[in-house]
């Protein structure tokens, strides 16, 4: 993150320090995690969230789990490591960065002895983190070329440093445009049910000195029709081989509205978010979270007791609605199937 801003994820003396995103912006609470089960819980409870940040936290969490293993021999150690990894794999299903990080950590579990493997896992987690920092910086600089001076940009959910443990994706592009000397302003959707837009994106943009207007999710069409929005930029949790994108619930609605109003719709993501093993978005698993996140806001009930609620955390935007996908390896346009195959996922 930027100087003066809180660091989302940090490896400190064999512990994982995170800022608890569920408490923001009310309080900046840092938590030191020295047990891998607490890292899994932090991911499930969305204290750490955002696709790249989930991947980075899981990598450090696996390294932490490995460090705590007391094994009779190498085989015993690897069997226990497998169990640790299995727990991480059940934490959140949609962001592919989690599974990419798990694959990387599995491959890194090599060495003559247990101590060597433990070390190698810590180093691999640090490498994964560093790669996300570099990739998000690079994609932001590339994507900023699409932003013109004076642009008013709509973004959804939170795709800034908090979500990436790096520079940001959608917010990274906006920050980089500002750094290039362009005047930009941002409409932020509040992002029900967990309000990542209202709580986190406004917080990050205000710290960057970028003008922000917070709107409810249902206001987006109104402002598009008023010609108040020049482009939409969002992040992604998983991009299928054909360019279909899974991102925070509500993204699809924004993409349809953008197309209807002839507004470019950009997706910004590091290549660790690309999943070439899935031919289309229909195959991406969508996380279903607790109905309580819909019937309550920050613990306060907003619906009659006993109300049935649905809570899919993500939706799929078909590639035909996407103007371009911004990655650290280049800006991809239709036919996505060709472009994405050309750059591939960084992890596979």
Q: What is the set of active-site residues? A: 237
Instruction: State which residue, 229 or 234, has the beta carbon closest to ligand MRU.
Output: 234
User: Residue 43: what are its φ and ψ, rounded to 5°?
Assistant: -70, -45
Instruction: Report the nearest approach of ligand MRU to the CB of residue 60 (Å).
Output: 17
CA separation for the pair 245, 319 (Å, rounded): 7
Instruction: State which residue, 24 or 263, has the beta carbon closest to ligand MRU.
Output: 24
Instruction: State which residue, 57 or 263, has the beta carbon closest to ligand MRU.
Output: 57
Concatenating the DSSP letter of every residue in 270-323 gives -GGGEETT-SSGGGS---B--THHHHEETTEE-S-TT-----B-EEEE-GGG-S
Q: Please give the residue whose beta carbon sits closest to ligand MRU in the complex.
A: 235
Could you tell me which of 159, 199, 193 has the C-alpha nearest to residue 23? 199
CA separation for the pair 32, 233 (Å, rounded): 33
Cα 17 to Cα 44, 202, 211: the distances in Å are 16, 23, 30
8 Å CB contact between 211 and 312: no
Query: What SS3 class is residue 240?
Result: strand
Instruction: Report the nearest approach of ligand MRU to the CB of residue 236 (Å).
Output: 6
Instruction: State which residue, 16 or 48, has the beta carbon closest to ligand MRU.
Output: 48
Cα 269 to Cα 126, 139, 198, 276: the distances in Å are 20, 8, 21, 14
Instruction: Report the nearest approach of ligand MRU to the CB of residue 79 (Å).
Output: 31
Binding site for ligand MRU (CB under 6 A): 49-52, 95, 157, 159, 163-164, 169, 196, 234-237, 247-248, 313
Instruction: State which residue, 117 or 135, has the beta carbon closest to ligand MRU.
Output: 135
The residues near 321 (Cβ < 8 Å, ≥ 6 apart) are 252, 255, 256, 258, 259, 265
Instruction: Report the nearest approach of ligand MRU to the CB of residue 44 (Å).
Output: 11
Instruction: Report the nearest approach of ligand MRU to the CB of residue 50 (Å).
Output: 4
Instruction: State which residue, 154 or 157, has the beta carbon closest to ligand MRU.
Output: 157
Could you tell me which of 8, 43, 55, 22 has the C-alpha nearest to residue 293? 22
Strands (E), the chain: 9-12, 15-19, 30-33, 152-155, 185-189, 212-215, 231-234, 238-240, 245-248, 265-268, 274-275, 296-297, 300-301, 314-317, 324-327, 330-332
CA separation for the pair 274, 186 (Å, rounded): 26
CA separation for the pair 189, 100 (Å, rounded): 29
Instruction: State which residue, 95 or 257, has the beta carbon closest to ligand MRU.
Output: 95
Instruction: Report the nearest approach of ligand MRU to the CB of residue 270 (Å).
Output: 8
Instruction: Report the nearest approach of ligand MRU to the CB of residue 101 (Å).
Output: 14
């Amino acid at each position: 993150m930027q100087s003066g801003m809180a660091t989302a994820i940090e490896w400190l003396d064999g512990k994982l320090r995170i800022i608890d995103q569920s408490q923001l912006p009310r309080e900046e609470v840092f938590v030191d995690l020295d047990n891998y089960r607490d890292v899994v819980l932090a991911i499930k409870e969305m204290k750490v969230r955002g696709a790249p940040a989930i991947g980075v936290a899981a990598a450090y969490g696996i390294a932490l789990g490995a460090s705590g293993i007391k094994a009779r021999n190498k085989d015993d150690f690897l069997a226990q490591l497998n169990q640790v990894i299995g727990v991480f794999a059940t934490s959140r299903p949609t962001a592919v960065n989690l599974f990419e990080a798990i694959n990387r950590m599995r491959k890194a579990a090599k060495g003559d002895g247990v101590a060597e493997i433990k070390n190698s896992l810590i180093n691999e987690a640090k490498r994964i983190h560093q790669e996300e920092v570099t990739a998000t910086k690079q994609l932001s600089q590339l994507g900023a070329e699409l932003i013109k001076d004076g642009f008013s940009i709509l973004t959804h959910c939170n795709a800034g440093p908090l979500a990436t443990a790096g520079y940001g994706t959608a917010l990274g592009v906006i920050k980089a445009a500002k750094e290039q000397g362009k005047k930009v302003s941002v409409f932020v959707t509040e992002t029900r049910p967990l309000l990542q837009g209202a709580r986190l994106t406004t917080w990050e943009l205000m710290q960057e000195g970028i003008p922000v207007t917070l709107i409810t999710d249902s206001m987006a069409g109104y402002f598009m029709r008023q010609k108040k929005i020049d482009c939409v930029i969002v992040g992604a949790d998983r991009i299928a081989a054909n360019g279909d994108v899974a991102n925070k619930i509500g993204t699809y609605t924004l993409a349809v509205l953008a197309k209807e109003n002839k507004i470019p719709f950009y997706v910004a993501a590091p290549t660790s978010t690309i999943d070439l093993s899935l031919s289309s978005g229909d195959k991406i698993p969508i996380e279903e979270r607790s109905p309580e996140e819909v019937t309550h806001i920050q613990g306060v009930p907003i619906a009659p007791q006993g109300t049935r609620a649905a809570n899919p955390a993500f939706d799929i935007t078909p590639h035909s609605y996407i103007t371009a996908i911004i990655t650290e390896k280049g800006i991809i346009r239709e036919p996505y199937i060709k472009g994405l195959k050309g750059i591939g996922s960084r992890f596979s």
